[in-house]
């Protein structure tokens, strides 16, 4: 099995459970807390929980470090902190309200 990087592991896990509008932001040049910031949309709270659980399972199965998880209780916005990669799984309304994409700017857009 090839050695996947953490960003790829996260993106593949998100895609496996049909997370929508996955956006990968390269924040290496503008952030001191992470290299990659990933935003994905879940269709419901149940879907958000399922996506986050799959993501956590995938990270652990690849022996990657998990710093913390926030928001699984209400599942409107689940943050999975993996150190160099921070994943935000948000329901559509929450994603539109907080508009994280605008905070980081267009220069940070990267491919999954």
* Alpha-carbon distance values, 6 to 13, 24, 34, 108 (Å): 11, 12, 12, 18
Rounded Cα distance between 104 and 108, Å, is: 7
Q: Confirm whether pTM is higher than 0.75.
A: yes
pLDDT tens per residue across span 43-101 = 999 999 999 999 999 999 999 989 999 998 888 999 999 999 999 999 999 999 999 98
Rounded Cα distance between 1 and 40, Å, is: 26
Give the chain's domains with CATH numbers. 6-102 (3.30.460.10)
Q: What is the DSSP string of 34-102?
A: -SEEEEEEESSHHHHHHHHHHHHHHHHHTT----EEE-TTT-SEEEEE-SSEEEEEEEHHHHHHH-HHH
At residue 105, does pLDDT exceed 90?
A: no
């Amino acid at each position: 099995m090839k050695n996947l990087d953490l960003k790829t592991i996260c993106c593949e896990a998100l895609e496996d459970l049909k997370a929508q509008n996955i956006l990968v932001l390269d924040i290496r040049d503008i952030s001191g807390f992470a290299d990659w910031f990933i935003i994905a949309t879940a269709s419901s709270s149940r879907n958000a929980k399922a996506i986050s659980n799959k993501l956590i399972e995938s990270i652990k199965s690849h022996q990657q470090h998990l710093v913390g998880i926030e928001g699984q209780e209400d599942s409107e916005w689940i943050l999975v902190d993996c150190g160099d990669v921070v994943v935000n799984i948000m329901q559509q309304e929450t994603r539109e309200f907080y508009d994280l994409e605008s905070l980081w700017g267009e220069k940070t857009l990267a491919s999954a």
